[in-house]
Amino acid sequence: MKVDKSFASINNPNCNQQAQFMLRNQTYLHNLKDLAHEPGKDKLQESSHENDFIFEKTSDDQIEQLIQQNHSLQQALEKADDKLKETQAQLAQAGKLATLGTLGAEVAHELNNPLTVVSAEADEIIEALGNGNFDKEFAAISAKNIKKYAERMRVIIDHIGRYSRDDKNSAWERVNINRPINDSLILLKSQLADSGISIELTLNENLPAMWGHTNKLESIFQNLLTNAADAFGCIKDGRTKKLLISSSLENTNRILVKIKDNAGGMSKEIKSNIFESFFTTKAAGKGTGLGLAIVQNLVKEHRGIIHVDSQEGRGTEFTLNFPLERRITHIEK
């Protein structure tokens, strides 16, 4: 996927201050043109706290030129804003595919286990048929096991397909936040277990549904959990590795999700840069530097807030705060 890096900063401001001032004064320019035609208005003065304009014997042509320039500026800014949003979406999609790439071995592992069971059960049925010792009760048990593990493989494959799908083809809907949290663990549980990391889930089962985008929420948790798993790679002191994940309701109208690890933590310098695009502390080829920048952008799309608390040598906690409701914008169209 080709990404235009001229717009690649996830947190790049859409407009500069001068442009914003001109856009806010669109009505003012039209009013000025009307004032220029009133008797005794040969000299027009206007002062504001942001800028000062002095028009002496302002002509219609000059005012019209200002209006046209302002209109052109507005069109250029809207085009740049659309380009920025498009690039942000491309980066988010690239980040998801990169995550799937790093989880390739885990995907193979998750599929291999049920596939081994299915193959073994099928072999036993074939052997029983060949020996003439076919037992209906035995066959029924084997068939149930085959169906059970085939369903497990289907869930994994469906999950990969859904997660890798372009978000622009998915809809915003009412979502129980626990669903994308659990979905994000489908491919990570084995990796975490193999790394000796225990998961403690404390999810409020009575949470109201929030307005959100399931795939984007899962991307948030997938990135945060992957980062936490990577952080434990530097721990060599024999401590018990723990990853705590919780969801709760705050003030009846906000959802809180906390992801806390007891890994190495971050220095103040690293913490101040973690949401910058292309910033990474991982070795070359091990990280894109997009993960947390994408996370912050996706949280903002949900009108949420992300906060990080980290103590070097002790661990890191990410707190996500989402409103239950949000205004529908062009993002959902």
Query: Tokens 């942001």 sit at which residue?
Result: 50
| Mean model confidence pLDDT for the chain | 75
CA of 4: how far to CAs of 85, 150, 274, 278, in Å? 11, 42, 21, 14
Q: For residue 11, what is the DSSP state?
A: T
Structure tokens at 53: 């304009």
> What is the full DSSP assignment across 35-47?
HTTSTT-SEEEEE
pLDDT in tens, 155-177: 777 777 776 666 566 678 999 99
Domain boundaries, the chain: 5-98, 104-164, 172-332
Looking at per-residue pLDDT, the higher value among 73 and 19 belongs to: 73
* Cα–Cα distance measured from residue 31 to residue 245, given in angstroms and rounded to the nearest whole number: 57
Phi, psi of 242, rounded to the nearest 5 degrees: -130, 140
Give the list of residues 6+ apart from residue 8 with CB closer than 8 angstroms, or none: 87, 91, 277, 278
Q: What CATH code is assigned to 172-332?
A: 3.30.565.10
pLDDT over 90 percentage in the chain: 22
Q: The whole model's pTM is what?
A: 0.59
* Cα–Cα distance measured from residue 195 to residue 189, given in angstroms and rounded to the nearest whole number: 10
